[in-house]
């Protein structure tokens, strides 16, 4: 036992024990303060490295088909709104415009002739009707006069016949001469001939009345003819409108042979070359325009206190010493996986729950030259301050 006691470690001096306790105390305090500071720093903040720069990209697609005759831009080139990017061979579409213009001119000419025909018909209708009425009245008057002459000739013929019969009786009694009887007989023949002539004249006058009535009826049908002419003129007007619409369509197609930039920005994804055959709707290039923004995919558990308007600090991987100020603009109404091309189906029995991510749009507060260097797809790290209401 005495040997064991001699080899045991001697106890630390009292002052060293106090120093060790102080060291443990301060180390514990430092760790606690560090954890406290870390908690205070992070509990009102949310960040993610699953965030990228996004921007507006307009796709340029031709409206008409044709071969590219001119290309005026290159990849990544800066273009202004209204600038001509490329040209499609316009000759076929110019021919269509010329044909449509010729068809319009012909339709206008036909319509003008129809309108003139309507005016001329309207002007002559009243005169024709008035003349037909006058002719009818004249024919009726002549018919009445002829009828009166027939009546007079009939009376004369009857008188001549009576005189002939009386003179024949007197001649049988030798009271008149043969010469006188012949004169009376000749007068009777003349009276009968005159009666026949007047009857024929009366019939002719009646025929003229019928002709005048037919012409009046024809003249009175002129309003119907006017209506027909008006309908023809309306049809001509419709033809003019159709030809004008065809001309506008041809002119529009001709204008589509010029691919014009609708915005100001940078050319991207150029798929356009001289002589290339383009089809309507095929994307030939894109233009990035406007101010960029951030799309941050936060975990659903990070969205508890996140809302629109909260302050955000954005660090860009390409510029590690740069901090940009922004704010939460909106939170997508659905997770990213829900709107993917193949949304997950969890009806089977092999379901494994995973934390979903929700896209959050973050907009920069200020405009600066550095924003022009932020390209779509760049990686960023946003920090959202949840205590900013």
3-state secondary structure of 75: coil
**Looking at residue 122, what is its pLDDT?**
61
Class at the top of the CATH hierarchy for domain 49-89+277-389: mainly beta
List per-residue pLDDT tens for the chain, 389 residues long. Answer: 444 455 556 665 665 666 766 777 778 878 877 776 666 565 688 899 999 999 999 999 999 999 999 999 999 999 999 999 999 999 999 999 999 999 999 988 887 777 766 666 665 666 666 776 777 777 777 778 878 877 887 888 788 788 778 777 777 777 777 787 778 778 778 878 877 887 887 788 788 878 877 776 766 666 666 666 666 767 778 888 889 999 999 999 999 999 999 999 999 999 999 999 999 999 999 999 999 999 999 999 999 889 999 999 999 999 988 899 999 999 999 887 777 766 666 666 666 788 899 999 999 998 778 888 999 999 999 999 988 65
Strand order in the sheet with 277-278: 258-260, 84-88, 66-71, 277-278
Rounded to two decimals, what is the model's pTM? 0.62
Domains of the chain: which residue ranges? 49-89+277-389, 95-251
The pLDDT assigned to 49 comes to: 93
Cα-Cα end-to-end distance for the chain: 74
C-alpha gyration radius of the chain: 57
**At 256, phi and psi to the nearest 5?**
-70, -10
Q: Enter the DSSP assignment of 382.
A: E
Question: Is CATH 1.10.287 correct for 95-251?
Answer: yes
Nearest-angstrom CA–CA distance, 49 and 297: 8
pLDDT at residue number 2: 44
Q: What sign does the dihedral 264-270-274-277 (CA atoms) show?
A: negative
Long-range contact set of residues 228-235: C-beta below 8 Å, sequence gap at least 24: 229/114, 229/117, 229/118, 229/121, 230/118, 232/114, 232/117, 233/111, 233/114, 233/115, 233/117, 233/118, 235/114
pLDDT value for 327: 94
Q: How far apart are CA 270 and CA 285, in angstroms?
A: 4
């Amino acid at each position: 036992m005495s040997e064991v006691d001699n080899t045991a470690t001697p106890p630390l001096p009292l002052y060293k024990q106090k120093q060790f306790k102080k060291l443990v105390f301060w180390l514990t305090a430092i760790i606690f303060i560090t954890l406290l500071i870390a908690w205070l720093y992070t509990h009102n903040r949310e960040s993610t490295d699953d965030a990228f720069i996004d921007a507006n990209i307009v796709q340029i697609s031709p409206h008409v088909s044709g071969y590219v005759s001119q290309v005026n831009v290159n990849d990544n080139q800066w273009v202004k709104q209204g600038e001509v990017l490329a040209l499609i061979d316009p000759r076929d579409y110019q021919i269509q415009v010329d044909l449509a213009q010729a068809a319009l001119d012909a339709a206008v000419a036909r319509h003008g002739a129809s309108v003139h025909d309507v005016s001329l018909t309207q002007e002559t209708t009243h005169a024709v009707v008035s003349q037909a009425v006058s002719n009818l009245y004249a024919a009726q008057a002549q018919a009445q006069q002829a009828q009166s002459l027939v009546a007079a000739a009939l009376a004369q013929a009857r008188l001549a016949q009576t005189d002939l019969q009386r003179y024949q009786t007197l001649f049988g009694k030798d009271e008149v001469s043969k010469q006188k009887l012949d004169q009376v007989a000749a007068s009777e023949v003349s009276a009968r001939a005159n009666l026949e002539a007047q009857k024929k004249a009366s019939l002719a006058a009646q025929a003229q009345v019928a002709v005048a009535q037919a012409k009046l009826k024809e003249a009175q049908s002129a309003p119907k003819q006017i209506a027909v002419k008006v309908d023809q003129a309306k049809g001509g007007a419709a033809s003019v409108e159709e030809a004008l619409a065809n001309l506008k369509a041809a002119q529009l197609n001709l204008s589509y042979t010029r691919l014009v930039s609708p915005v100001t920005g940078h050319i991207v994804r150029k798929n356009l070359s001289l002589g290339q055959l383009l089809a309507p709707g095929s994307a030939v290039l894109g233009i990035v325009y406007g101010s960029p923004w951030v799309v941050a995919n936060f975990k659903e558990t990070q969205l508890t206190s996140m809302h629109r308007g909260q302050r955000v600090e954005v660090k860009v991987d390409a510029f590690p010493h740069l901090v940009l100020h922004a704010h939460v603009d909106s939170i997508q109404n659905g997770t990213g996986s829900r709107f993917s091309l193949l949304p997950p189906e969890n009806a089977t029995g092999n379901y494994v729950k995973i934390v979903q991510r929700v896209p959050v749009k973050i907009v920069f507060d200020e405009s600066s030259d550095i924003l022009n260097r932020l390209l779509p797809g760049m990686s960023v790290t946003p920090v959202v301050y949840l205590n900013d209401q």
